[in-house]
């Protein structure tokens, strides 16, 4: 007799699986899609869960790497949720989680999940078509359209970012065609997809482009794309952002080519700032070695400190004359918890200046070790009421408690702290502490 409930069905499957040798089951489950393997195998047997642990870890690592590389939203996951798992979890999911599950299914071309999930959702935004296009899933794109999901300019941009020329061609061949705009060309350039860009520009009328196309190509290090775009008649427009984008991405060859043009491609202080922000010392050194050198300002030191790039900061300060810095350098290092950078800056002769903002920004970021070191210096880094208020605002009760426990305690305005606090435990502590100190609540 067939099982009458889902629980009974799972029990029978588990019993059947238990009758097979472990090596046979492991081999069978190696052919499952990643989502099914990660979610189903551990339910059947503890030994299988152990065998699947490495694969699950690999999938999670891929997911984390994909998140870092994602430029089109949150569809970039290594697997879609299997339908049975989604149906089981659906009642507990938030509206955003349900929407994301459908987007992931579209990105991976999981028509079964799309068929079930889309009618359950009360919105029919373009995100589902965008996700399908980003994944190069033409069938999923057509399916989403058939279910009433709209598309817009972001759909073409999502498709070309992944180099999916067939998706773009199909979308533009519809009546009416899927709309596009300058973002389509810039997305193709950012991904380094020259054939896609060439096809888009060969249409009648051509897909529009603007200076962002050159900037996107430069940021991605796609010199061939940039060279082709500038060789057109008329050439694709560009401005200072192209050099800045190349420096931000660490693409020295792109920057050198841009500056070798006649006239040289313009640059400004943002070029050095971008190189320093990402720790691209070779780019910064080359830019400053030109005649005349690329301009820079105080933001170069502060942004290097913010990124924790001590080598960049040390080189900048070793120049003749030393690159200027101010209180923002210490503040930036403290904000991101770069204690070694802050310590080096303060150890110079004369030391990098600091002020109350160093302590307050460290408190806001929960950087207790930085705050403790700053206050332990002789003389200590100054602080004021903002330190306590920003610790409360950032949700860092331990920082707030430490600051108030010093002798003398960090000054505070408990009413300001209460207004900034958003976590119940911090609100309760502030009220209790204020009462102990005799403040009128």
**Between residues 95 and 33, which one has the greater pLDDT?**
95
Summarised one tens digit per residue, pLDDT across range 243-272 is: 999 999 999 999 999 999 988 888 999 999
Q: How far apart are CA 366 and CA 336, in angstroms?
A: 9
User: What is the model's pLDDT at position 85?
Assistant: 84
In this structure, is residue 271 part of a structural domain? yes
Residue 158 to residues 130, 198, 287, 343, Cα–Cα distance (Å):
6, 17, 34, 45
Where is average pLDDT lowest: 64-68, 175-179, 315-319? 64-68
Q: What is the pLDDT of residues 337-376, one digit of tens each?
A: 999 999 999 999 999 999 999 999 999 999 999 999 999 9
Q: State the pLDDT at residue 72.
A: 40
Supply the pLDDT for residue 25: 56
The CATH number of the domain holding residue 235 is 1.25.40
Given a cut of 60, whether residue 31 has pLDDT beyond it is no
Query: Has residue 223 been placed in a domain?
Result: yes
CA distances to 79, 115, 183 from 129, rounded to whole Å, are 18, 14, 16
Rg (CA), the chain: 28
Distance spanning both ends of the chain, measured CA to CA: 70
What pLDDT does 65 receive? 46
How confident is the model at residue 136, as a pLDDT? 95
> What is the reported pLDDT for 9?
60
pLDDT of res. 434:
86
- Residue 248 belongs to a domain: yes
Q: What is the pLDDT of residue 277?
A: 95
In a domain, 436, yes or no: no
Q: Angle formed by the axes of helices 153-161 and 182-191, to 10°?
A: 10
Residue from 389, 284, 106, 12 nearest 267 by CA: 284
Query: Can you give the pLDDT at residue 74?
Result: 47
Owner of token pair 């794309």 = 225
Residues with Cβ within 8 Å of residue 355, at least 6 apart in sequence: 327, 331, 382
Q: Looking at residue 435, what is its pLDDT?
A: 87
Tally of domains in the chain: 1
Using the predicted structure, report yes or no on whether residue 401 has a pLDDT greater than 80.
yes
Residue 111 lies in a domain: no
Neighbours of 206 (CB within 10 A): 12
Non-local (6+) Cβ contacts of 91 within 8 A are none
Please report whether residue 292 resides in a domain.
yes
**Does pLDDT of 58 surpass 80?**
no
Q: What is the pLDDT of residue 88?
A: 87
74 vs 111 pLDDT, higher one: 111
The count of residues in the chain is 441
Q: What is the pLDDT of residues 309-340, one digit of tens each?
A: 999 999 999 998 888 899 999 999 999 999 99
* Stronger pLDDT, 363 or 421, i.e. the higher one: 363
Can you give the chain as a three-state secondary structure string?
Answer: CCCCCHHHHHHHHHHHHHCCCHHHHHHHHCCCCHHHHHHHHHHHCHHHHHHHHHHHHHHHHHHHHHHHHCCCCCCCCCCCCCHHHHHHHHHHCCHHHHHHHHHHHHHHCCHHHHHHHHHHCCCCCCHHHHHHHHCCCHHHHHHHHHCCCCCCHHHHHHHHHCCCHHHHHHHHHCCCCCCCCHHHHHHHHHHCCHHHHHHHHHCCCCCCCCHHHHHHHHHHCCHHHHHHHHHCCCCCCCCHHHHHHHHHHCCHHHHHHHHCCCCCCCCCHHHHHHHHHCCCHHHHHHHHHCCCCCCCCCHHHHHHHHHCCHHHHHHHHCCCCCCCCCHHHHHHHHHCCCHHHHHHHHHCCCCCCCCHHHHHHHHHCCCHHHHHHHHHCCCCCCCCHHHHHHHHHHCCHHHHHHHHCCCCCCCCCHHHHHHHCCCHHHHHHHHHHHHHCCCCC
Query: 427: burial class by Cβ within 10 Å (0-12, 13-18, 19+)?
Result: middle
Indicate whether 235 pLDDT > 90.
yes
Do the beta carbons of residue 303 and residue 330 sit within 8 Å? no
* Higher-scoring residue by pLDDT: 418, 77: 418
192: nearest Cα among 156, 217, 215, 168? 217
pLDDT at 422: 86
Residue 222 lies in a domain: yes
The predicted pLDDT at position 123 comes to 77
Question: Does the pLDDT at position 68 exceed 50?
Answer: no
431 has a pLDDT exceeding 80? yes
Closest CA to 217 of 228, 208, 207: 228
Work out the pLDDT band at 14, boundaries 50, 70, 90.
Answer: low
The mean predicted confidence, pLDDT, of the chain is 87
- Between 63-77, 95-109, 157-171, the lowest mean confidence (pLDDT) is in 63-77
Residue 276 CB-density burial (10 A; 0-12 exposed, 13-18 middle, 19+ buried):
buried
Report if residue 263 sits inside a domain. yes
What range does the domain containing 220 cover? 181-199+211-296
pLDDT of residue 67: 44
Q: What is the predicted pLDDT for the residue at 69?
A: 43
**pLDDT (0 to 100) of residue 21:** 63
Percent of the chain with pLDDT over 70: 81
Cα 279 from Cα 313, distance rounded (Å): 9
pLDDT higher than threshold 80 for residue 33: no
């Amino acid at each position: 007799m067939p099982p009458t409930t889902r629980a009974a069905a799972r029990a029978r499957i588990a019993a059947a699986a238990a009758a097979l040798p472990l090596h046979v089951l492991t081999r069978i489950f190696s052919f499952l899609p990643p989502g099914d393997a990660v979610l189903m195998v551990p339910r059947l047997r503890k030994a299988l869960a152990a065998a699947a642990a490495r694969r699950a870890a690999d999938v999670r690592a891929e997911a984390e790497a994909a998140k870092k590389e994602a430029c089109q939203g949150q569809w970039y996951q290594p697997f879609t949720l299997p339908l049975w798992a989604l149906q089981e979890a659906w009642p507990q999911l938030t509206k955003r989680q349900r929407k994301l599950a459908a987007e992931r299914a579209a990105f991976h071309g999981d028509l079964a999940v799309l068929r079930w999930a889309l009618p359950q959702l009360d919105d029919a935004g373009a995100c589902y078509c965008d996700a399908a296009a980003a994944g190069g899933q033409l069938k999923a794109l057509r399916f989403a359209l058939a279910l009433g999901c709209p598309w817009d300019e972001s759909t073409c941009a999502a498709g070309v970012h992944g180099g999916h020329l067939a998706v773009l061609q199909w979308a533009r061949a519809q009546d009416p065609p899927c709309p596009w705009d300058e973002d389509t060309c810039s997305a193709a350039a950012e991904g380094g997809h020259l054939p896609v860009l060439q096809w888009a520009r060969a249409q009648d009328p051509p897909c529009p482009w603007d200076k962002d196309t050159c900037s996107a190509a430069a940021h991605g290090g796609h010199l061939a794309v940039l060279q082709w775009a500038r060789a057109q008649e008329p050439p694709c427009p560009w401005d200072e952002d192209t050099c800045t984008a190349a420096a931000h991405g660490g693409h020295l060859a792109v920057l050198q080519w841009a500056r070798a043009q006649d006239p040289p491609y313009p640059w400004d202080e943002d070029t050095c700032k971008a190189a320093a922000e990402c720790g691209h010392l070779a780019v910064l050194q080359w830019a400053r070695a030109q005649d005349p050198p690329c301009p820079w300002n105080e933001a170069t030191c502060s942004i290097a400190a913010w990124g924790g790039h001590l080598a960049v900061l040390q080189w900048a300060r070793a120049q003749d004359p030393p690159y200027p810095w101010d209180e923002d350098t210490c503040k930036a290092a403290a904000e991101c918890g770069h204690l070694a950078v802050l310590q080096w800056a303060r150890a110079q002769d004369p030391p990098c200046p600091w002020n109350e903002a160093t302590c307050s920004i460290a408190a806001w970021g929960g950087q207790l070790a930085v705050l403790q070191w700053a206050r332990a210096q002789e003389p200590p880094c100054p602080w004021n009421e903002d330190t306590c208020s920003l610790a409360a605002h950032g949700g860092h009760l331990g920082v707030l408690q430490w600051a108030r426990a010093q002798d003398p305690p960090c000054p505070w305005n408990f009413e300001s702290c209460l207004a900034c606090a958003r976590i119940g435990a911090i609100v309760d502590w502030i009220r209790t502490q204020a009462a102990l100190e005799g403040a009128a609540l």
